[in-house]
Amino acid sequence: MPVPSAIASALLAWADQGGLRDLPWRTEPRDPYVVWISEVMLQQTQVSTVTPYLQRWLERFPTVEALAAANLDDVLKAWEGLGYYSRARNLHRAAQVLVKQHGGRLPADRQALLALPGIGKYTAGAILSIAFGRRAAVLDGNVKRVLARVYDVDEEIGRSAAARRLWQLAEALVEAVEPAQAGRLNEALMDLGATVCLPQRPRCLVCPLHGLCLARQRGTQEERPVRRRRKPLPHFDVTAAVLRRPGHSDQFLIAQRPPEGMLGGLWEFPGGKCHDGEPLADCLRRELAEELGVEATVGRLVTVVEHAYTHFRITLHAFECELVAGQPQAIGVADWRWVTLDDLASFPFAVTDQKIIAALQKTVANS
């Protein structure tokens, strides 16, 4: 069984020899706020995507105080396109807690960090080790893969028993180094998984853990980590209305989703999920009545958008609609507005609605 101190030594030596990625937020001294925001953005998102987002974010919200004082719409707009919008809402709420309870500073205390909205065991470990030089483990997808191969873990990593074992292995590694080295060790683990210990065709011959890895020795590296076979994602038809304002052909209705739940706080073209066997036009008319208290006619198809979320897929059908009765009310939505196409840049939208906007812009450009 590989010895934690040997693994840690090999990883730190690899880091010292230039193994770590040169990332713009890895500047010394480490700013706990920047570490926090970057680690949240990097969850399930590639570095190449995060880099420009983080730069814009820090220009807009350079401090905890600036983030806490910001309007949630502005925070969601800055996050627009990264997905997992609950993370942006949690960052905003956590910043407000930090201002009220911690003087606008991230605490160097595990329990205080875990009490903040959106900060779990992984993020707390990253902040403590990288920003504060504390012994704290991390376990993201890259680290799981490295540890599952080094120790040849033959259990499904999604199961609780395997997760506990991987956390124990990660914790043993940081216990094998001085506290000040824990952050660099964790970054080496994450970067090794991102650049060498790849999901497919791992680069074993250039890996600093080549001689220690049980999976490589046993020829099972391509089979680790063991993942549960995914079930087919359920599919739903969804409708959306480009609802024109009577007497103002250049204006249409957008609605804000309730603050909690999926895509909470984002704006959208109103509509919703179809019931089984429900015709698209009937679905859209029903949703407009239930959410906004209006009656509308459903006209031409504007665009069709296919999109996959983590647990399901949708086909979104957007239609031109005309208001025939009622005035919009916030019944099943948080808010609503009549807007022009030029107004939309000020509102945060999910990627599906951005594609509706692109279709509308293309129609205008071609007219």
The answer to whether residues 321 and 241 touch, using CB atoms and an 8 Å cutoff, is: yes
Peptide bond into 29 cis (omega under 30): yes
- Which is nearest to 33 in space by CA: 126, 100, 141? 126
Report d(CA 115, CA 132) in Å as an integer: 18
C-beta atoms surrounding 135 within 10 Å: 20
The answer to whether residues 203 and 216 touch, using CB atoms and an 8 Å cutoff, is: no
Q: Which of 39, 80, 187, 268 is catalytic?
A: 39
| Segment (H or E) for 295 | strand 295-308
Residues 6+ apart with CB under 8 A from 91: 37, 40, 67, 75, 118
CA angle 307, 55, 28 (to 5 degrees): 130
Peptide bond into 225 cis (omega under 30): yes
Beta partners for residue 133, in sequence order: none
Report d(CA 326, CA 118) in Å as an integer: 40
The answer to whether residues 92 and 67 touch, using CB atoms and an 8 Å cutoff, is: yes
The answer to whether residues 313 and 307 touch, using CB atoms and an 8 Å cutoff, is: yes
Active-site residue flag, 59 = no
Q: Strands, E, within 222-332: which ranges? A: 235-245, 248-256, 267-268, 271-273, 295-308, 313-325
Catalytic residues: 39
